[in-house]
């Protein structure tokens, strides 16, 4: 198969980790006789430096015309003083919206070989961590109007949070369908005791649930959910929630696995084109030092193979290669454990390619 992949290397450690993921994709192409064509799409701080804006039109076009998008990470302190409409993050939001990527899926799974990195009490970790956060990605307060203005002699800022039924319904369907392929439980997270958007969320999710009588639906307030994720993560299978809550809970969910550097994510809309990225950030403090863990990005590439290109065997091969390298005791700094062998970003990439 021939596939065109838009490549957003981004900022900080982005270029290093993406470089290793492309190396792995090349190895997959060679072994399975595919051809992957990479098209560079500068975005983020590097695009601000070069083009003055975080998402140049040419990059947007490249992404819209590709079969899928692979992203490293964007942002960093260098661009913190940019006006809010021109921050690196804006590029990412604009791209998600333009591509119609309304569902973000972030698995929180503890790798058996990395259980010792789990920050939770051993008896809690022993019950296992294996759930997915399904986050609505192009609605809510992220995409409402934002303003800051003078009022009564002081500054006042306003961010509008809104949701329509169809925005809720489409992501709820994704969650229920996913639960069907997993352990059959959806936990919908909201703040329905306070917010109108949450009351509409809950009502709409309940309506969608009628189409999935085989899936169990629970509702949970977001504050309680934040607590339950550390108290007993084993209770979750598919957790579905709105944009801002999902942003927060997905960071929490990934951290309890002890390996935020290992976790990939997918953003999808209608159709098969998606955007795939590790869930961690651009880590400017270790950029350019060959210290970053490329596994999150490599597993994101595996997700792309599986969900956008329908290449299940190829995806399995990449995931098995990662498992094998971990089993052999190789670790990057973020997941280093006793008796393991510390390797850099490039060496980790090479070891994984070697398994393919
Ligand atoms: C994420 C990030 C982004 C978000 C930022 C960079 C805009 O935190 O992908 O979770 O908040 O969605
Ligand atoms: Mg986030």
Residues whose beta carbons lie less than 5 angstroms from ion ligand 2: 247
- Give, in order, the Cα–Cα distances in Å from 289 to each of 159, 167, 344, 345, 346: 38, 42, 9, 9, 10
Q: What is the mean pLDDT of residues 122-129?
A: 91
| DSSP code string of 285-310 | GGTTTT-S--HHHHHHHHHIIIIIS-
- Catalytic position from the list 102, 113, 163, 191: 191
Q: Is 223 a catalytic residue?
A: yes
Query: Would the pTM of this model clear 0.75, i.e. be above it?
Result: yes
Place 85 in a pLDDT band, splitting at 50, 70 and 90: confident
CA–centroid distance, 243 to ligand 2, in Å, is 10
> What DSSP letter does each residue of 226-247 carry, written as one string?
HHHHHH-GGG-SEEEE-HHHHH
User: Which residue's CA lies nearest to atom 1 of ligand 1?
Assistant: 247
Residue 99 is classified by DSSP as: T
Spacing, Cα 276 to ligand 1 middle (Å): 13
- The protein residue whose alpha carbon is closest to atom 8 in ligand 1 is 247
Residue whose Cα lies nearest atom 4 of ligand 1: it is 247
Nearest by Cα to 73 from 152, 6, 127, 11? 11
In angstroms, how far apart are the furthest CA atoms of the chain?
Answer: 67
Contacts of 226 (CB under 8 A, 6+ apart): 248, 249, 252
CA of 62 to the centre of ligand 1 (A): 21
Which pLDDT band holds residue 112 (cuts at 50, 70, 90)? confident
Instruction: List the residue whose alpha carbon is closest to atom 7 of ligand 1.
Output: 89
Task: Give pLDDT tens digits for 87-111.
Answer: 999 999 999 999 999 999 999 998 8
- Asked if residue 159 lies in contact with residue 146, where contact means CB atoms within 8 angstroms, the answer is yes
Burial of 330 (0-12, 13-18, 19+ CB in 10 A): middle
Give the per-residue pLDDT at 95: 97
Q: Which of 38, 130, 221, 251 is catalytic?
A: 251
Rg (Cα) of the chain, in Å, rounded? 20
Per-residue pLDDT of 332-341, as tens digits, reads 999 998 899 9
Catalytic residue among 223, 232, 310, 316: 223
**Spatial separation of the C-alpha atoms in residues 323 and 262, rounded to whole Å:** 11
Q: Is 191 a catalytic residue?
A: yes
CA distances from 180 to 130, 185, 208, 214 (A): 15, 8, 14, 8
Distance 178 CA to ligand 2 centre (A): 22
What are the structure tokens assigned to 134, written together? 């399904």
Ligand 1 surroundings by CB, under 6 angstroms: 75, 89, 92-93, 247
Average pLDDT score, the chain: 96
- The residue whose CA has the least distance to atom 11 of ligand 1 is 247
Range 22-33 average pLDDT: 98
pLDDT interval class at 29 (50, 70, 90): very high
**Candidates 102, 142, 212, 276; catalytic one:** 142
> Measuring from atom 3 of ligand 1, which residue has the nearest CA?
89
* Catalytic residue status for 251: yes
Decide if pLDDT at 160 tops 90: yes
280 CA → ligand 1 middle, Å: 9
Q: Tokens at residue 43, please? A: 């975005």
Q: Are strands 216-221 and 103-109 parallel, antiparallel or unpaired?
A: unpaired
Amino acid 93: pLDDT: 95
| 130 is annotated as an active-site residue | no
Pocket test for ligand 1, best of 8, 10, 88, 89 (most atoms within 8 A of CB): 89
pLDDT over 90 (residue 11): yes
Residue pLDDT, tens place only, 220-270: 999 999 999 999 999 999 999 999 999 999 999 999 998 888 999 999 999
């Amino acid at each position: 198969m021939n596939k065109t992949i838009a490549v957003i290397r981004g900022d900080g450690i982005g270029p290093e980790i993406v470089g290793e993921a492309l190396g792995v994709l090349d190895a997959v192409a060679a072994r399975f006789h595919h051809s992957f064509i990479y098209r560079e799409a500068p975005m983020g701080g590097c695009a601000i430096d070069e083009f003055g804006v975080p998402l140049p039109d040419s990059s947007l076009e490249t992404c819209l015309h590709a079969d899928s998008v692979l992203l490293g990470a964007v942002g960093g302190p260098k661009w913190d003083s940019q006006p809010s409409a021109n921050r690196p993050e804006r590029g990412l939001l604009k791209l998600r919206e333009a591509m119609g990527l309304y569902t973000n899926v972030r698995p929180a799974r503890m790798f058996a070989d990395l259980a010792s990195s789990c920050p939770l009490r051993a008896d809690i970790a022993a019950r296992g961590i294996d759930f997915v956060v399904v986050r609505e990605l192009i609605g809510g307060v992220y995409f409402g109007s934002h303003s800051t203005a003078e009022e009564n002699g002081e500054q006042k800022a306003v961010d509008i949070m809104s949701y329509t039924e169809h925005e809720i319904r489409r992501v709820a369907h994704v969650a229920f369908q996913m639960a069907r392929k997993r352990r059959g439980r959806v936990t919908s997270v909201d703040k329905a005791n306070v917010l109108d958007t949450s009351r509409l969320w809950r009502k709409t999710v309940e309506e969608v649930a009628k189409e999935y009588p085989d899936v169990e639906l629970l509702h949970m307030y977001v504050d309680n959910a934040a607590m339950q994720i550390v108290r007993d993560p084993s209770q979750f299978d598919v957790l579905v929630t709105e944009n801002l809550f999902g942003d927060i809970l997905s960071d929490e969910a990934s951290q309890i696995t002890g390996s935020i550097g290992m976790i990939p994510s997918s953003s999808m809309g209608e159709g098969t084109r998606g955007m795939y990225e590790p869930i961690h950030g651009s880590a400017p403090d270790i950029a350019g030092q060959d210290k970053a863990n490329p596994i999150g990005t490599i597993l994101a590439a595996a997700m792309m193979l599986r969900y956008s290109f329908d290449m299940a065997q190829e995806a399995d091969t990449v995931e098995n290669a990662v498992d094998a390298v971990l089993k052999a005791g190789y670790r990057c700094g973020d997941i280093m454990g006793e008796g393991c062998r510390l390797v850099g970003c490039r060496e980790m990439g090479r070891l994984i390619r070697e398994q393919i």
